[in-house]
Amino acid sequence: MKLKIAILSASIALSSQAMADGNDITVEQDGYGNQLNAYQFGNGGTASYQQSGWRSRAELRQYGQGNDASLMQNGYRGQATLLQRGYLNSAAIDQDGMRSRASITQRGQNNDAAVTQRGWRSDATITQRGYANQSAITQSGYRNSATTLQAGQTNASAITQAGMLGTVDITQRGYGNQSNVTQGADSYTNAVTSVQRGTYNESTVAQDGYFGTVDVTQRGYGNQSDITQGADGYTNSATSMQRGTYNESTVTQDGYFDTADITQRGYGNQSDVTQGGYTNSVTSLQKGTYNTSSVDQSGYFGRVNVSQSGYENDASVTQQGYRNQADVMQSGEFNTAELSQSGEYNRGDISQSGYGNDSTITQSGWRNMATTEQDGTYNTAEITQTGYRDIADIYQNGYGNSAVISQAAGGWGSWATNRASIVQYGYGNTASVTQSGGANTANVYQY
């Protein structure tokens, strides 16, 4: 059965409730305050709506499988609602205008939903329940909001925003879900929130703009989160929390005033953070086994804090600039920490507890301070400082520990006021101190 209507400014209620398959509805409305309600029952049905004018409303419900729904609205305050139940259904909403509202709800499997909005203060919501469903939201304009909720397994969500003050909220429940969010170069002050619960989840967020914020939460195992904020953006903030096993998180920020906070719990977790610019701050907390954290910051006023608990943890921090501060604390066994800072007013602290730990601190510049404390066996600490007013301290407790401190004036000559102190407890420990310059002081204690 086919039904086609072209009418100007009307309120229509349609129902193709014949149990035959292949129902077809086509409606075109032009005017003010248009309203459309339709129901389709059966399989292989198609519905196509087109509304032009202010305050148009359209609602469609389809029950069956292999149905297709398409709704286009052009005007101010358009509202579109699509509901599909079954599988292999497809729903698409296209809105052009200010304060548009779009909602798609699908229940079943292998369904596809897409929303495209162009205008100011538009809102898009997609809800899918089942498995192997796909959703996509594309928005351009000012103060747009996109929300996706998927419950089931092997679902995929993609959201693209270009504009200002956009918000994205994604929630996925089940396993094998995938989420992808992109906010373009023409946008600033955008916010992204992604929550995934289950297993084999994957989340990717890319922002290129100003004042963007990202918050990703994953629970389960095999989760992966990638956050990228582009070179055109500053004052960006990224937060990623993962719970479970085999989690991996990567954050790359290029801009100003970037902040990254990553928390991982479980084993086999890996965290990589790279920030470019100044006034950057990174905090990474890992608990479990086989954790690896690597932080690279280039710029000014950067601060890094890495805490690891478990065994076979690895942390590497590299900072360039001035007034950088890095703190690495490891607890467990087979931990390795390497900290390298180049610039001014740098401070490095590494604390290790367990056995087989390795700590290396390299600082170049002036007024640097390095402190390494180790507790256990087979620990090795090495500190190298070149510059002005460097201070190095190494504390070791156990046996078989080795400590090396090397401080050089680096052109400052007699101005260098470097100081070195090594304290060792146990037996079989070795200590070596090398200082070049003026007014240097070295203290070595062995017990």
| Tens digits of residue pLDDT in 113-172 | 999 999 999 999 999 999 888 999 999 988 899 999 999 888 899 999 888 888 999 999
Same-domain pairing of 126 and 199 = yes
Strand partners, 169: 147, 193
Report in angstroms the alpha-carbon separations of 391 from 57, 179, 316, 382: 71, 47, 21, 13
Q: How far apart are CA 422 and CA 373, in angstroms?
A: 10
Same-domain pairing of 158 and 243 = yes
Residue where the block lists tokens 């035959």: 20
Q: How far apart are CA 168 and CA 210, in angstroms?
A: 15
Report in angstroms the alpha-carbon separations of 201 from 171, 192, 193, 312: 11, 17, 15, 25
Domain boundary (255, 275, 299) is at: 255
197 part of a folded domain: yes
Give the domain extent around 141: 120-255
Q: How far apart are CA 184 and CA 161, in angstroms?
A: 6
136 part of a folded domain: yes
The residue ranking higher by pLDDT, 412 or 174, is 174
Other CB atoms within 10 Å distance of the CB of residue 48:
16
For 213-266, what is each residue's pLDDT tens digit? 899 999 988 889 999 887 666 778 899 999 988 989 999 988 788 899 999 999
**79 has pLDDT over 80:** yes
Other CB atoms within 10 Å distance of the CB of residue 388:
19
112 pLDDT tier (thresholds 50, 70, 90): very high
Over residues 93-102, mean pLDDT: 96
Sign of CA dihedral 410, 413, 419, 422: positive
The conformation of residue 313, written as its DSSP 8-state character, comes to -
270 part of a folded domain: no
298 part of a folded domain: no
Same-domain pairing of 104 and 17 = yes
The residue ranking higher by pLDDT, 186 or 89, is 89
Same-domain pairing of 110 and 132 = no
Q: What number of CA atoms fall less than 13 Å from residue 242's CA on the CB side?
A: 33
Q: How far apart are CA 82 and CA 264, in angstroms?
A: 39
**Contact call for residues 389 and 411 (beta carbons, < 8 A):** no
84: Cβ–Cβ under 8 A, 6 or more apart, which residues?
A: 61, 62, 63, 67, 69, 91, 104, 105, 106, 107, 108, 111
- Mean pLDDT, all residues of the chain: 87
| Whole-number pLDDT of residue 125 | 97
pTM, entire model: 0.85
8: left (phi > 0), else alpha (psi -120 to 50), else beta? beta
| Whole-number pLDDT of residue 421 | 94
**435 has pLDDT over 80:** yes
The conformation of residue 216, written as its DSSP 8-state character, comes to E
- Tokens describing residue 349: 């602290």
Q: How far apart are CA 341 and CA 305, in angstroms?
A: 14
Other CB atoms within 10 Å distance of the CB of residue 20:
12
Domain boundary (216, 240, 255) is at: 255
| Whole-number pLDDT of residue 343 | 84
Q: How far apart are CA 252 and CA 343, in angstroms?
A: 22
Same-domain pairing of 204 and 251 = yes
Residue type, 344: E
Q: Choose from 61-65, 92-96, 201-205, 311-315 the range with maximum mean pLDDT.
A: 92-96
**9 has pLDDT over 80:** no
Domain total for the chain? Answer: 2
Other CB atoms within 10 Å distance of the CB of residue 109:
20
339 part of a folded domain: no
Q: How far apart are CA 267 and CA 176, in angstroms?
A: 19
**20 has pLDDT over 70:** no
| Whole-number pLDDT of residue 184 | 73
